Amino acid sequence: MNKTSAYLLLISICLLISCSNTSDDQINPPIDEGMYFPPIDSEIWDTTTLADLNWNTNNLQDLLLFLEDNNTESFIVLKDGKIVIEEYFNGGSSISDHAWYSAGKTLSAFTVGIAQEEGLLSLNDPSSQYLGDAWSSLTLEQEQNITIWNHITMTTGLDYTNLLLQTCTLPGCLTYLNEPGTFWYYHNAAYTLTQVIVEGAVGSDFTTYFNSKLRNKIGMNGTWENLGFNKIYHSTARSMARFGLLVLNNGSWNELPILSDSNYFNQMVSTSQNMNKAYGYLWWLNGKDSFRVPGSIQEFPGELIPNAPNDLIAGLGLNDQKLYVVPSQNLVIIRMGDDAGDALAGPSSFDNFLWEKINAVIN
């Protein structure tokens, strides 16, 4: 199947509400000592210009018109931590809160890493150790075989075939289909339980732990809000950019380590299993030779986003929420808004079109 056909098929995939560890060449370079970090108690943020960076100013308007025409509300580009482009369209503003949808899965993955670093859980632990027995309709032996690692890599083996139950976390909705670790499917209910696992491990609600260990330490705003069985993060675009900057710097904010376990961090942003090379620990990865997408069991040949840099890692959410991190170029790019045409929880053809416009500016 060629790339055009693959993207046409992606458009038809049904919508989702949110959408052995393996290392590869996704490991980030060392932190750049010249990186800028905005203060955590202020919205003051240093800027730089396209001219200063020798970017193509002639193509900026084409990029902005494309964003506005495709229902974008917020768009931010950071280079070396400084704001190069910050634009708001279609009713969006610098103080507008917007749902991250499945892009917020990346926040959960990072929080799991903090909990493991603190010795409160291990990825190899059975999830039932924190969820309790009978959290599903599986036998106790089957539950014991599902680990936290399976939850954050989408390999639990829980039945995904009933689309109406894919977000449901009630025991009656969680039934056996495959052995854990033998099949990859973007099963939102299995992910949602990750936050419950953290609660069981740390002894407090997920929001309290997340706020104290991550959000407050880097000056983010925002809240987790219930949407059906899910908890969806809402924040300003600048808060998403702060998190992207944290990830760009390998889990440290300036000189403060938020997640100092480099082994976990590198695994999080590398291929986590062989069934979907473009997926880490709840992060999407570019530059692989094949990928799978939400709502499908098909494997597509080629890169996730052909026009994007090979080392791009991404948080991708419903209605085209985009958190792009490009370590090789010290870039963080944020897009929030409404459906740009595909409405998928994961990668869409919009990603590729957007990167065509971005490349015309930055290259």
What are the pLDDT tens digits along the chain (363 aa)? 444 344 434 433 333 334 433 334 444 444 456 899 999 999 999 999 999 999 999 999 999 999 999 999 999 999 999 999 999 999 999 999 999 999 999 999 999 999 999 999 999 999 999 999 999 999 999 999 999 999 999 999 999 999 889 999 999 999 999 999 999 999 999 999 999 999 999 999 999 999 999 999 999 999 999 999 999 999 999 999 999 999 999 999 999 999 999 999 999 999 999 999 999 999 999 999 999 999 999 999 999 999 999 999 999 999 999 999 999 999 999 999 999 976 556 677 899 999 999 999 999
Cα 109 → chain centroid: 8
> DSSP characters for 132-198?
-TTSSSS-HHHHHT-BHHHHHHT-S-B----GGGTT--SGGG--B-S-TTS-----HHHHHHHHHHH
Q: What pLDDT is stored for residue 342 in this prediction?
A: 63
pLDDT at 25: 43
Q: Which domains does the chain have, with CATH numbers?
A: 3-362 (3.40.710.10)
What local confidence, expressed as pLDDT, does residue 2 receive?
43
Task: Return the pLDDT at 163.
Answer: 85
Report DSSP letters for 225-281, one per residue. EEETTEEEEEE-HHHHHHHHHHHHTTTEETTEESS--HHHHHHHTS--SSS-TTBSS
Distances (CA, A) of 231 to 62, 102, 205, 228, 261: 36, 10, 12, 8, 26
- Of the candidates 301, 337, 329, 298, the residue with the CA atom closest to the CA atom of residue 313: 329
Closest to 60 measured CA to CA, from 94, 81, 85, 89: 85
Q: What is the pLDDT of residue 33?
A: 62
